[in-house]
Amino acid sequence: MTERSFDHQKLSNRILIALVLGLLTGVLLNVTVADQPWVREWLLDGLFRVVGEGFVRFLSMLVVPIVFVSLITGVSSLSDPATLGRVGGKAIGLYMVTTGIAITLALLAATLVQPGVGANPEVLIEREIREVPPFTQVLIDMVPRNPVEAMAQGAMLPTIVFAILLGLAISFAGEPGSRVASFFRDFNEVIMRLVGIVMLIAPYGVFALIATLGATTGLSTFAGVLKYVLLVLAMLIVHATVVYPLLLKLLTGLSPIVFYRQIRDPLAFAFSTASSGATIPVTLRAVQQRLGVSNRVSSFTVPLGATINMDGTAIMQGIATGFIAQYFGVDLSFTQYLMVVLLVILASVGTAGVPGVGLVLLAGVLVQVGLPVEGIALILGVDRILDMTRTAVNVTGDALVSTVVARSEGEFDEAIFLSRAAASP
């Protein structure tokens, strides 16, 4: 174990410790001085906010450069473009299958447990519910009108499309192409270093985010919808501890325990930030340096997964649909259930992994099956904690599919997977 990889290990531990300490501090503040104006002004809206939101900004800052550079490096190193088609086909197929399993399980659970019967939500918080774009528009929007605009807006799918095309052109362009490719290979190394630098402040960011949440979440919000909250959490845990390990074992033969040990950084980040998009740099780093997936596969599957794969979100949507139907006394038909399954799989394709986007998607689903959109207000108050947990599940799904695809393509390094430290800095 080198000096540097040892540090990496220590950093992971510090991030987890920060998470636990943040939670304890938040709860302690909550039951003592969180209501005092000076605590709000100086600590929660002051120091913690600057450190927490600043840290999320640093992560977001890295997303577009890392996706762009890493994807070009990956695609331009493919000797055969058919490989890209195969990797893409497998990844998209698996992403859809895992989401399909998630939403089906969620609907089953909602039907059996009936969380909406007898619910008595406390709050109706006003919040803007944006429209979900139709699927045809999602397809059109995948092609950037202007790549710089797409990157400036952080629009993931058009950025991915442009980077793939540029990467292909580089690999077809002979001598000049190989010069450009070698520049991007070097650039990729540099950006990974940059991720390492930002990781150094991660423990503080994670602490501030979690402490604020702990200090500001009132327990009474949960009372009327407790069954819903517990059911979503239970199904997220089932998905993470039963479905994913089974898939990993069946499709790759690898140990789920080792898998989870290697991805604890992105898990902690996803949980603290509630954004699989902002977590991309950390996911990519862990998938490459700890799981042993090659850059060729992960540079494609990770950003794609952060955009189109949302298994945890699908679970929330399935249970929320059941909850809202039950609360309003509406009986859903089998066709409506099928529609929910299809809509949830398709709707997640065009939306970025940012906090709260699951609720926006849910609005689209409710409209399509004819349930009142206002139903969302019933569960808004408790969504943040579920958002954090489902984002961790979403990111696990991205890492899992990346591993399965890489293993089947001979792009997987088992020695890295089994090692306790990072393979490179």
Residues engaged in binding ligand ASP (CB under 6 A)? 274-277, 310, 313, 353-358, 387, 390-391, 394
| Residue number, 203 or 358, with CB nearest to ligand ASP | 358
- Residue whose CB is nearest to ligand ASP in the complex, by number: 358
Going by C-alpha positions, the residue among 377, 372, 350 that lies closest to residue 361 is: 350
The contacts of residue 11 (CB under 8 Å, 6+ apart) are 199, 200, 202, 203
Q: Which is nearer to ligand ASP, 214 or 358 (CB)?
A: 358
Distance CA 129, CA 204 (A): 32
CB of 95 to ligand ASP, least distance (A): 13
CB closer to ligand ASP, 171 vs 391: 391
Q: How far is the CB of 393 from ligand ASP (least distance, A)?
A: 9
Q: Which is nearest to 115 in space by CA: 312, 322, 313, 381?
A: 322
Q: Look at residues 211, 187, 227, 238 and name the one whose alpha carbon lies nearest to residue 71.
A: 187
Residue with smaller CB distance to ligand ASP, 74 or 355:
355
| Residue 293 dihedral angles phi and psi, to the nearest 5° | -85, 135
Closest distance of CB 421 from ligand ASP, Å: 28
**140's tokens:** 């059109």
How many whole angstroms from its chain centre is CA 227? Answer: 25
Q: Which is nearer to ligand ASP, 60 or 188 (CB)?
A: 60
Question: E strands along 14-110, which residues?
Answer: none
Q: Least distance from C-beta 407 to ligand ASP, angstroms?
A: 24
Considering the complex, what minimum distance in angstroms separates the CB of residue 335 from ligand ASP? 25
CA distance 117 to 224: 11
Closest approach of Cβ 390 to ligand ASP, in Å? 5
In the bound state with ligand ASP, the residue whose beta carbon lies nearer, of 75 and 382, is 382
Residue (22 or 277) nearer to ligand ASP, CB: 277
Half-sphere CA count of 146, side-chain side, radius 13 A:
4
Cα torsion 303, 309, 315, 318: sign? positive
